[in-house]
Chain A
Amino acid sequence: MQASELFLKEAQQTFDVIVVGSGISGGWAAKEFTERGFKTLMIERGRKVEHRKDYPTEGKGPWQFPQRQKVDNLLIEEQYKVQSKSYAFNDATKHFFGNDRDLPYSTEDGTDFRWFRGNQLGGKSLTWHRQSYRMSEFDLNANKADGHGNDWPIRYADLAPWYSYVEKHAGISGNTDGLAQLPDSESLPPFEMNAAEVSMQKQFAEHYPDRPMIIGRCAHLSQTTDYHLQHGRITCQARDECQKGCSFGAYFSTQSSTLPLAVATGNLSIAVDSIVHSLIYDEASNRVKGVRIIDNNDLSTREYFANVVFLCASTLGSTQVLLNSTSKRFPNGLANSSGVLGRYFMDHNYNARSGGILPGFEDEYYSGRRPTGIYVPNFQYEPSRYKKHYARGYALGGSANRGSWKGAHNRDGIGADYKNSLTTPGDWYFGFYAQGEMLPRFDNQVTLHPSKKDKWGMPQLHFNVSWSDNERLMMEDCAEECEKMLKKAGLQYVSSEVSLDENPPGSAIHELGTARMGRDRKDSVLNGFNQTHDIPNLFVTDGSAFCSSATVNPSLTFMALTVRAVDYCANEMKQRRI
C-alpha cells in the first residue's frame, strides 16, 4: 500500500474516513482508523503544530519574557478578552489559545458565556490540565435515577474495556482506590502526597469516612515504560509547565501520543488551516459525502470527500458545523430531526472554594512541581445521598502547599526580616475547590446567530446558557461543607467563597451535551455508539454526546467513547452496513 501524503491541501480522492478536529477526540479517531487500515483524512482549522519544534516557550524562566509571563493589556483587550480569563493563559501559553478578535460569539441579553478555544493541530490536548477520571455506573445511571435529562443509552460495562484500552496507551498516573463511585483506571504509579496532605487524608478518613481523599489521577507518565518509550515518551519531570508543550512527551497530547502512531501507519493525511464550513449531504442516499472547507489563511474554498465522517471538533465546534449544514430534509441542522441539537448544554461548576492554614509540619517540604492535586470524589453520587434542597453533587480538588512570596504583599512587613520570611518556606495552606455537576436543561441552548458571521463567513454561535438554582444551591452548600471539613481537620483561618456570579458557564472548559446520545431518536441526536440517528455514516464523538455532566473531568471519557465508536463503525463498514 502506498503511504498517504501526510500534509495536503487539495485532494481528489475519496477517503475512507474524514475526522474533523485534531484534539483529544480527533487524535484518537485518527489513530484507531489508520491502525485498522482505513485511509483517513484529519481536518484541522488551525495551524500545524509539530511536537517539540513548535514549543517556543518551553523551559524558559519568567525573566525571559517581556512582562515576566504577564500579557500586555492592550493585546488582551484587543485579542484575548475571553481567553485571558483562563488560569492557564499567560505570555508563555497564549499562542495555544484562540484569538477572541477572530473568533467572536454572542450571548443572549442577561446571560454570559466564556468560550475557550485551542484552534491548532492538537487542539486543547496541548493546554488541558490532564486530570483523568472514569465515569461510574452511578454517573451513567444518574438521569434515569432522578429524572433530570434523558437516560444514557450506555452503562459502565459498555465503557470499561475502552477506558482500559485508552488508559494503557495514554498513560494515567494514579492509585487503585477501590471506590464504587470512582472506578479505578489502569494506572501508572501515583504521584506522592506531601506530608500535610497525608495528614489531611487521615483526618478525613476519621471524620468523614464516606468522603475519601485520594491523589489526583492524571495523564502523565509517572514512570517510563518500554511501551511509551517506543513512542518517544519518557517520565514526567514535574515541571508542571505543561501548557507550554512538553518535549519529554510526558503528558498525553495529540502530538505526544496519538498522532505519532497514526502517522506511522502511512494511512493518515492531514489538512491543516482547513475550516469545515458544513457537511455535504446527499438526500437521495441519506449519506454525508464530505465537507466544505474555507481556507484559514486565504479564505478560498475546497471540498474533501469520504465514506464516513467523524465529527471531533469539540462540543461547540461540532455543533456549529452541524447547525450550519442545512438541507431540505434538515432545515435546522444536519441530523437534527429531534430538534435537540444545540440544547442541553452543560459545563462543570467550579465556583466554590475553601481553605485555611494547617499548623505544624515546619520540617516538611517537597521538591518538584506536581502536575496534579488531591481529589475527593463526589460523595452524593446517588439519590439517597443527595442533599434535600438540590440534586446531585460535587467532587473536590485541592492541594497543600507552603506559602511563598505569592500573595505575601497582603501581609504586613518591611525590611530584612520580611525578606527572609519570603525566601524560606512559609505556612502550610490547604485548599479545596468544587467540581460540581451541572444539570442538563432544555433551555441551555446554543444556536447560530441569525445574521452575525466571523471573518470566514461562518455564522457565529449564540449562547443562551445560565446557571440554575440547582447549581447555586450546590455551590453554597459546597462552600459550607468544605469549611466544616477543614475546621474539623484542624485548619485555622478557614474561609470560603462562592463565585458563581463572577464565572459564567463555559469557565470550566468542559463543554458538553449539545448533540446528546439517547435511545429515543425523538429527543436525542446520537445513538449509543455516537452515530447520528438520522444519517448512518455520520458520527460525533466529542463531549456533545454527553447526557449528563457527572462531576469528573470529561476528556478520558471522550477518548473511550471515540475508540468505542471507531470500533463499532469499522465493524459496520466491514459488514457493509455503512
Chain B
Amino acid sequence: MRHPNRAGQDFATESQFNITRRHFIKRLSSIVGGSSAIALAGTSQVALAYSPRKDSASQAGKVLSKAQMKTLSGVCAAVLPRTDTPSAADLDCHGFIDHQLAACYEASEHQAVRASLDAIDAYAQKHSQRAFHTLVNAERQAILRKIEKRNGFSEVQKAQFTFVKELLLFGYFTSEVGATEALAYQAVPGGYKGSTPVTEDTKAWGSMNYY
C-alpha cells in the first residue's frame, strides 16, 4: 500500500489506515502510563542479519523469558500456520521478534509483549490446565480469537496482542522465505505496468519499498 505518510513529508507511502506504532504507543501509554525510556538491553549490535535458529523457543531471549519464548513460538505457529509455505514458527519469527524488540523498541513496548504473552499463557493454564505452547494449533487459535473479540480479554490486552501480531507479520514477510516464497518478489521489476491480471495463483508482492 502506498498512502499519505504521516510525517507530513514529501511524497508519502505509508498506510494511513494503519494504526501506527506511534499511535499504539500513545494509546498504550495513555492507558497504562508507559515510560518512553529507551531500553538499553541488547544494543551492542553486530551489523549482521538475524539468522533463524532452531532452539529459540528453548531458552530465554534478550527481552523475553524462556517461558515467554515458548508461548511466542506457539503464537507464531497459530497466527501464520504451516500451509504450502512454512509457518511463522518454522521461520523462527519468535526468535526474530525478541531480537527486534531488543534493537528497535522501547521498554514500554517490551513490557506490552511480555504482558500479552503472559496473559495468553495464563488463560491457557486456567482454562486448559496446560501451557499455551503445548496446546494443538486449533486450541491456540481459539484462544487468540478470543483476544481479538475481547472475550475474556480487555481492550488493552487486545492492543498488546495487535502489537505482537504486527511484529510477527513484519518478521515473517520480511524474511527471505516470507518475502520471496509466501509472496512474489521482484528485485528488479524492469518497469511499471499499471494493469496486470489476477489469476488463481497471483500472489501479493513481497517486494516493496520500506518506507
Contact = CB atoms under 8 A, between A and B. Distances in A.
A409 interface: yes
Given A62-B174, A370-B192, A405 B198 contact: no
A348 B22 CA distance: 23
Nearest to A362: B198
Contacts of A402: 1, 204
Sorted from nearest, which 5 A-B pairs have the closest CB atoms?
A503-B8, A192-B194, A433-B4, A353-B4, A368-B189
Interface in B29-55: 38-40, 43, 45-50
Contact of B192 (A351, A368, A419): A368
B104 A73 contact: yes
A367 B179 contact: no
Interface stretch (A64-72, A98-106, A206-214): A64-72
Given A404-B183, A416-B83, A500-B8, 7 more contacts: A62-B174, A70-B100, A191-B194, A353-B3, A368-B193, A370-B192, A373-B11
15 contacts: A59-B187, A67-B103, A70-B103, A191-B194, A194-B195, A198-B194, A238-B189, A238-B191, A366-B196, A414-B79, A414-B141, A423-B183, A429-B3, A431-B16, A553-B10
B5 A73 contact: no
A420 interface: yes
Interface stretch (B56-64, B111-119, B124-132, B162-170): B162-170
Range class of the B interface residue count? 35 or more
A77 B43 CA distance: 12
A192 B193 contact: yes
Interface of B is mostly: loop
Given A350-B8, A368-B189, A399-B2, A195 B81 contact: no
B6 A425 contact: no
Interface of A is mostly: loop
A418 interface: yes
B153 interface: no
B174 A429 contact: no
Contacts of B192: 191-192, 238, 366-370
A367 B15 contact: no
Contacts of A364: 195-198
A416 B197 CA distance: 24
Nearest to A421: B204
Given A67-B104, A367-B196, A355 B4 contact: yes
A237 B191 contact: yes
A425 B184 CA distance: 11
Interface in A335-382: 348-351, 353-355, 362-370, 373
Contacts of B202: 365, 424-425
A241 interface: yes
